[in-house]
């Protein structure tokens, strides 16, 4: 348990532990009848927990650094060493779980489609995991989850095929995906500028869709990523020309996105 004893920028204190931060929320939650909200709120963590169990990592779910419900989803803190597994095999398994659930549900039950965000950074912890997890890293994870690109790609994909769309922070991409620690090739991800309307938030991020769908995903115009701050060691994103067509992975070229802004597929410039 930590407490603030000084003043930021004036005194020093221990740096909080770095944690993987996984956040999830449901598409169109507010559009479902209110009488179903409670059941959806309980169902989403159960489905994700089942996915953890299916990949043999239920222990992670059962002993989080922190856990916080958001009504239509949650945020959970986990050890940084497990970041690769949160990308793969967890996200493909979650897609499989949701596919089975949605195809077997009764007509009166809502369909569950999820946005997922994954980030890493220092967060303060508490002896009660339901009271911990505060920090910029967690705030940014929720901003990523609410950003324009991940909302757009899930809305554009087939509701009968694509049930999970994930957005990954640039740091997770650089440390985990680009270095080959996760069972996902860099070309499975598409770089996007994560922007949240009405918020002062804009970061480079990466989309990952375990099961793409549709013939053409017409994403809205996207503003270019912000310039990289000096000293980060990360080059600014390439700027493709107007009308650049980006093909999503693992779909034999059947999924494409016509982009009118800073978005490209593949690994970062070096």
Q: Write down the domain spans for the chain.
A: 18-213
Q: How far apart are CA 270 and CA 268, in angstroms?
A: 6
Task: Please state the separation of Cα 227 from the chain's center in Å.
Answer: 22
pLDDT digits (tens, 9 = 90+) for 34-92: 655 666 677 889 999 999 999 999 999 999 999 998 878 899 999 999 999 999 999 99
Cα gap 112→4, rounded to integer Å: 40
Specify the pLDDT at position 208: 96
Q: Are 120 and 21 in contact (CB under 8 A)?
A: yes
For residues 73 and 23, what is the distance between their CA atoms, to the nearest angstrom?
7
Longest dimension (CA), the chain: 59
Q: Which of 150, 159, 111 has its CA nearest to residue 24? A: 150
Instruction: Identify the pLDDT of residue 214.
Output: 74
pTM for this entry: 0.78
Taking 70 as the pLDDT cut, the residues of the chain under it are 1-5, 28-40, 108, 215-270
Q: Which long-range contacts (CB under 8 A, 24 or more apart) does 60-66 make?
A: 64/129, 65/17, 65/19, 65/123, 65/125, 65/129, 65/132, 65/133, 66/19, 66/123, 66/125, 66/126, 66/129, 66/130, 66/131, 66/132, 66/133
Q: Which CATH architecture has domain 18-213?
A: 2-Layer Sandwich (3.30)
pLDDT score for 37? 64
User: Residue 71: which region, alpha, beta or left (left: phi > 0; alpha: psi -120 to 50)?
Assistant: left
Q: How far, in Å, CA of 109 to CA of 208, rounded? A: 27
């Amino acid at each position: 348990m930590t407490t603030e004893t000084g003043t930021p920028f004036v005194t020093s204190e221990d740096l909080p532990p770095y944690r993987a931060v996984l956040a999830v929320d449901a598409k169109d939650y507010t559009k479902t009848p209110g009488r179903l909200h409670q059941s959806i709120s309980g169902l989403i963590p159960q489905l994700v927990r089942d996915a953890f169990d299916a990949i043999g990592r239920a222990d992670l779910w059962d002993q989080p650094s922190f856990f916080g419900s958001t009504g239509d989803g949650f945020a959970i803190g986990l050890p940084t060493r497990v970041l690769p597994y949160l990308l793969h095999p967890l996200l493909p398994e979650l897609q499989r779980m949701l596919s089975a659930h949605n195809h077997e549900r009764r007509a009166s039950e809502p369909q569950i489609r999820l946005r997922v965000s994954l980030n890493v950074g220092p967060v303060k912890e508490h002896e009660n995991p339901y009271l911990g997890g505060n920090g910029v890293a967690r705030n940014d994870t929720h901003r990523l989850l609410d950003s324009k690109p991940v909302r757009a790609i899930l809305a554009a994909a087939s509701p009968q095929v694509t049930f999970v769309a994930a957005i990954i922070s640039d740091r997770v991409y650089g440390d985990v995906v680009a270095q080959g620690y996760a069972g996902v090739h860099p070309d499975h991800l598409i770089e996007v500028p994560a922007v949240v309307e009405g918020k002062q938030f804009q970061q480079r991020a990466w989309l990952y869709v375990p099961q793409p769908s549709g013939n053409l995903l017409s994403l809205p115009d996207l503003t270019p990523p912000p310039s990289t701050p000096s000293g980060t060691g990360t080059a600014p994103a390439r700027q493709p020309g107007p009308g650049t067509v980006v093909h999503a992975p693992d779909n034999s070229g059947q999924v494409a996105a016509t982009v009118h802004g800073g978005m490209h597929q593949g690994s970062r410039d070096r």
